[in-house]
Chains A and B, each alone.
Chain A
């Protein structure tokens, strides 16, 4: 599942050697965690390991996977995007307003993704051109876009329903639901970008060693703007999924999605200091968080315990990741 470190660096022969290498555990913390949690829940309840439940789990993980991939783009350049919590409802409101205004689904889709991208462009320009720290810039945009979303929607959530959205939320190709098909495609595309393209390599270099990247002639400012534009487009896409899933546009902040997106990336083994992108690890991280909630629900554990468990898992993963090579 994780091609990153293990395959690339000619591990000495023998599974034992691999298992003895602490770096293996550090690099694959999220996948290992996912397996452990999965096995535990399947032993604890017969309802966990059924196709119906797994499919539900994947559907509820889909939005987070797209958001975490968006977050990955910011984090890989040693940045972070706090404005996701406001950009997501902003793009959802734009989608809803354009659709309910009678412009049709294609226009609403384009508008939502464009709305997300505009926030990305502004984030990128503030960070790369005005030289404002990523944390501060996106914290500011978090407030600005929260306000804008509330203003244009008049602070009200409103229902948005269409056959298209219903099909998107409930439909499938064979057993594969559209929802997680989209998430899988996005994650694979991001993985491909980082590992197989010059653009992705330049983004990694910009995050890993900005001076070196500049020295080698990479336009680092343009790279930093580009990652926030991609990030914004993905948030716009996630907003469409959110409207399809909830059946409406809600302008209120999506703080838990923001925190989960950062937690997924950290769980997945990407460094917050940039330069390292583990997209498939990020997907595993998002699945770990979603699986915890799913399992707890099946086991009828009080929902008050859920955030605590998620927090403990994130810290445990961070400790494990210190073993990374």
Chain B
């Protein structure tokens, strides 16, 4: 691996919706094997930035580079094909399907010839087990329907699914906002394990204690602009709060 080539690099990104300037100069760098935290008040432009990175919105100006090459995603499908996976707050899990069916949703492994194809259930079940076992402390049964799982287990499966498709960048929007303390711990442990495997992770979080616990760098957005960036270990909560509020940067 070349020295510190970031997985994702965003420069001077701009995006307007009519008269509203949602992004006026967003910057971001996500290196491999690091957790990058993106913080800022509601309306600071975090979600718009994420949607530009994942191909939902085409940016008006600026540049996005993925593994060093400039990209202009036309659709979320293209972003996914390149290895950018997003875990939205709604998790995109189908409750009436099993864990393994969700894991392989629209990526099914099949037997058969020509138009006659059927699912290779045994293989998908075994591989779901193998993939999740590596990542999760508390493995839910992969044959269980998602409906029967706890919020933390669901979150873990959504993240595990995003991470297990050879993705280079996993983006998480408030991954623990809806969870209790113990389940939050399990999800944070999962994020730590993914970091160990070299995945670049971008986490939007309002929980600054969590940002301090899990991230390697912190990027602060305010009014559509990136106004501050630090290595997490070189900053404290008070300064981040001040930056979010506009007192610094």
Interface residues of A (CB under 8 A from B): 8-10, 192, 196-198, 201-202, 204-205, 208-209, 211-213, 215-218, 271, 275-276, 325
Chain A residues in 8 Å Cβ range of B123: none
Contact assessment for B96 and A204 in the assembled complex, using a CB-CB cutoff below 8 Å: yes
Contact assessment for A197 and B118 in the assembled complex, using a CB-CB cutoff below 8 Å: yes
B57 smallest CB distance to A (angstroms): 16
Q: Among B95, B105, B119, B144, point to the contact of A216 (Cβ < 8 A).
A: B105
Chain B, residues 78-117, CB within 8 Å of chain A (1/0): the string is: 0010000000101111111110010001101010000001
With known contacts A212-B93, A213-B94, A215-B88, A201–B117 Cβ distance under 8 A: no
- When C-beta atoms are compared, the residue in chain B nearest to A215 turns out to be B92
Q: How far is the CA of A211 from the CA of B76 in the complex (A)?
A: 14
Chain B residues in 8 Å Cβ range of A204: 94, 96-97
Q: Among B91, B106, B147, point to the contact of A218 (Cβ < 8 A).
A: B106
Chain B, residues 177-218, CB within 8 Å of chain A (1/0): the string is: 000000000000000000000000000000000000000000
Q: How far is the CA of A202 from the CA of B110 in the complex (A)?
A: 14
Q: How far is the CA of A276 from the CA of B121 in the complex (A)?
A: 18
The answer to the question of B51 belonging to the interface, with a C-beta cut-off of 8 Å to chain A, is: no
With known contacts A217-B77, A325-B148, A202–B106 Cβ distance under 8 A: yes
B53 smallest CB distance to A (angstroms): 15
Contact assessment for B106 and A209 in the assembled complex, using a CB-CB cutoff below 8 Å: no
B110 smallest CB distance to A (angstroms): 6
Contact assessment for A217 and B117 in the assembled complex, using a CB-CB cutoff below 8 Å: no
- When C-beta atoms are compared, the residue in chain B nearest to A76 turns out to be B96
Q: How far is the CA of A198 from the CA of B98 in the complex (A)?
A: 14
Q: How far is the CA of A314 from the CA of B192 in the complex (A)?
A: 52
| 4 closest residue pairs by CB, A with B | A212-B92, A198-B108, A275-B96, A215-B92
The answer to the question of B233 belonging to the interface, with a C-beta cut-off of 8 Å to chain A, is: no
Subset of 17 A-B contacts with CB under 8 Å: A10-B143, A192-B118, A196-B119, A196-B121, A197-B119, A198-B108, A201-B101, A202-B105, A205-B97, A209-B95, A211-B90, A212-B105, A215-B76, A217-B80, A218-B106, A275-B97, A325-B147
Q: Among A8, A218, A275, point to the contact of B105 (Cβ < 8 A).
A: A218
A5 smallest CB distance to B (angstroms): 8
Chain A residues in 8 Å Cβ range of B121: 196
